[in-house]
Amino acid sequence: MVLQVAYCGLNVKSMTSGKRIVLSTFGSFGDIHPYVAIALELKARGHRPVIATAEVYREKMDALQLDFHPMRPDVPSYDQPDEIAEWVERLMDPRVGTENVMKVFLGGLREVYDDLDAAVSGADLILTHPLPLVGPLVAQKRGLPWVSSVLAPISLLSAEDPPVPPQLPALHLLMKRSPAVTRLLLRIATWKLDRLMKPVYQLRAELGLPRGEQPAFSGQHSPTLVLALFSKVMGKPQRDWPPQTLVTGFPFYDRRDFFAETETPVELMKFLDAGPPPIVFTLGSSAIWVARNFYRDSIAAAQALGRRALLLIGHERNRPPADLPESVAAFEYAPFGEVLPRALAVVHQGGVGTTGQGLRSGRPVLIVPHAHDQFDNAARVARLGCARILARPRYNAHSATRELRSLLENESYAATAAEVGAQVQSENGAAVAVDAIERVLKQV
């Protein structure tokens, strides 16, 4: 029996001492994939990870042989494109999109709580995402060891390193002049959100828990450990971050894993092999549903520059209607880790998952932020010197041509991108995160 276990490459000690760890998350691939990466690392070390998230991801987890527990709220599935587009339209509004995301959970908060509470039955630890707001309640009510996480620097809301608010990006210019101004604005935001968070406070009272801190701000952070699941090139520790914060690096995972699409399309690889590196245009996995003329304008920009273009369109609804020129190819999906390093440059929406992949690729980027953390992520990458920014309402064939020409003709962007890429490639966010989780488990 011992020989058989050794032959299978399994560690007997890890098999007997592995822990059941629930990873709670919700959102697009940028929200799901980091936890998949951590779960796979946990599983490789003999633990029993469980992903608790929306039902639409069951097939993905089944393909990865990861335990899955469904959580409400229910979201439209991939085969309901019109419903998804309508849903995402509300959530991607730069002014009220973040508030609308919160309302998705707040309307049925008790149901969300019950689902996660059921998921953690028998668990040794819970790892929480900033959403869906009930993770801290479940952990505190059960007395369960708890590690929290954030995916982007904006979630840490530092006055020392002020964020770029999606509702009014220009406000950052005032905030960076004085931490005192930022602290005042954050207090105003806390006061405003407190009214929205009334269902959370009510549920805490029903559960016999103290009111606690602001659920969307400081209340989301575990007092034991906060994992900042991004690279230090995006944000270095600040004096006003929770002192228990650990910056891990990005935990990367980029396979689609449903509809049997687990390999990079052969025709896509043939296109990459057939000519010079193309400009890759993508809108991640959320903004694809509000793409409008993005891909049409991107084709025109690439042709104006005399460059090849690879469009990652996300869904057939975004496929350009006309026959594509030989210099342009369009595919629904491809693993960024394989494709982006072969690009000349990358144009993307600034979601943190795509941002991390863009940085790792070592290629210069043009970021077209739509909502949420995307404006802040874009500003941070631009400050590194490897990106330019073009707000979504101003993106068209002419403006994209202008910005891409500046990006490609100034060699400093490519040189800096290569340096930053090497640093991001040297990090292993999943391994660092799991190391930290295991240290917590040893203390309980």
Contact 260, 385 (CB under 8 A): no
Q: Considering only 27-41, 163-177, 272-286, 314-328, which range has the smallest mean pLDDT?
A: 163-177
As beta bridge partners, residue 414 has none
Say whether pLDDT at 139 is over 80. yes
For 226, the 3-state DSSP assignment is strand
**Matching CATH topology for 2-250+428-443 and 266-425?**
yes
The residues, ordered by sequence, that sit 6+ positions from 330 with a Cβ below 8 Å of its Cβ are: 295, 310, 311, 312, 313, 319, 320, 324
Say whether pLDDT at 3 is over 60. no
Say whether pLDDT at 431 is over 70. yes
Q: Considering only 72-81, 111-120, 269-278, which range has the smallest mean pLDDT?
A: 72-81
* Domain boundaries, given as residue ranges, for the chain: 2-250+428-443, 266-425
Residue with tokens 């400093």: 412
Say whether pLDDT at 54 is over 50. yes
Q: Considering only 5-19, 131-145, 232-246, which range has the smallest mean pLDDT?
A: 5-19
Say whether pLDDT at 5 is over 60. no
Confidence of residue 192 (pLDDT cuts 50, 70, 90): confident
Strands 125-128 and 67-70: unpaired
Residue 427 structure tokens: 């990090």
For 368, the 3-state DSSP assignment is coil
Assign residue 78 a region (left: φ > 0; alpha: ψ between -120 and 50; beta: otherwise).
Answer: alpha
Taking the C-alpha atoms of residue 438 and residue 165, their distance in angstroms, rounded to an integer, is: 35
Confidence of residue 258 (pLDDT cuts 50, 70, 90): low
Rounded to two decimals, the pTM is 0.93
| DSSP3 helix / strand / coil % (the chain, rounded to 5) | 50, 10, 40
Say whether pLDDT at 8 is over 60. no
Question: Residue 441: which of 151, 131, 225 has the closest Cα?
Answer: 225
Question: Residue 149: which of 440, 443, 400 has the closest Cα?
Answer: 440
As beta bridge partners, residue 150 has 228
Strands 365-367 and 48-53: unpaired
Confidence of residue 134 (pLDDT cuts 50, 70, 90): very high
Q: What is the mean pLDDT of residues 295-311?
A: 98
Strands 146-150 and 226-228: parallel
Domain 2-250+428-443, second-level architecture: 3-Layer(aba) Sandwich (3.40)
Starting at the earlier edge strand, list the strands of the sheet with 146-150: 67-70, 48-53, 20-24, 125-128, 146-150, 226-228, 245-247
Taking the C-alpha atoms of residue 378 and residue 72, their distance in angstroms, rounded to an integer, is: 31
Say whether pLDDT at 135 is over 60. yes
What is residue 411's predicted lDDT score, i.e. its pLDDT? 97
Taking the C-alpha atoms of residue 349 and residue 166, their distance in angstroms, rounded to an integer, is: 13
Confidence of residue 186 (pLDDT cuts 50, 70, 90): confident
Say whether pLDDT at 299 is over 90. yes
For the chain, the average pLDDT equals: 92
Neighbours of 170 (CB within 10 A): 8
What is residue 79's predicted lDDT score, i.e. its pLDDT? 79
CATH code linked to domain 266-425: 3.40.50.2000
